[in-house]
Amino acid sequence: MIGAAKYHAEKELDFIRVYYNQKLRVINARIFRVYGRGSKDVISRWIRTALSDRTIELYNKENRFDFIFAQDVAEGLLRLAESPAHGLVNLRRCVSKSIQEVLEALEKYVPEKNRVNGLGSTQEFEASCAGTSKLKELTGWTPPTSLNEGIKKIAVFVRNRAAQREE
């Protein structure tokens, strides 16, 4: 549903450009799974859950996604706005990670993560992947923050925020 809504919005903007204002420059940044400090995304929720000694619940650890750090999204959007870009551009890292790999990264930076409740699995799994050559060509840049680095930054942020609340 979300993908269909995004696709519809892209087509509506293209329609406006073609039929009403051909000089309008439209950039459709397709942004993949964003996570970041102070966010409600799944990785941030799992870090907060682990640090509060609650159980992380997940389904299908075989699912694979291309996670991108929110700070990289902001920089990517700025770079696209400053570039001659138009049309569809994938804003992602081009590195698909499984939920199992996310859990392994969490173990490195959130050793308190000791309880995971696997709610099930199927032979079918969700996976997303797309190229970033156009982003690199237009901006000379690719998102630099790896999943491990991003998880480490969020864990530090959540711990610091909890320490400030205790003061």
Count the neighbouring beta carbons within 10 Å of the beta carbon of residue 96.
18
Phi, psi of 93 (to 5 degrees): -90, -20
Average pLDDT over residues 41-45: 91
pLDDT at 3 over 70: yes
pLDDT at 121 over 60: no
pTM to 2 decimal places: 0.83
Assign domain 27-166 one CATH number from 3.40.50.720, 1.10.15.40, 3.40.140.10, 1.10.1200.10.
3.40.50.720
**What pLDDT shows up at residue 37?**
94
**What pLDDT shows up at residue 125?**
52
pLDDT at 25 over 60: yes
CA–CA dist 97, 81 (Å, integer)? 28
pLDDT at 120 over 60: no
Count the neighbouring beta carbons within 10 Å of the beta carbon of residue 52.
10
Average pLDDT over residues 110-117: 65
More confident position, 3 or 20: 20
Average pLDDT over residues 131-158: 92
pLDDT at 138 over 70: yes
**What pLDDT shows up at residue 21?**
87
Confidence band (pLDDT; 50, 70, 90) for 22?
confident
pLDDT at 164 over 70: yes
pLDDT at 135 over 80: yes
Is residue 42 a contact partner of residue 60, using CB atoms and an 8 Å limit? no
More confident position, 136 or 24: 136
Where along the chain do its domains lie? 27-166
CA–CA dist 68, 54 (Å, integer)? 25
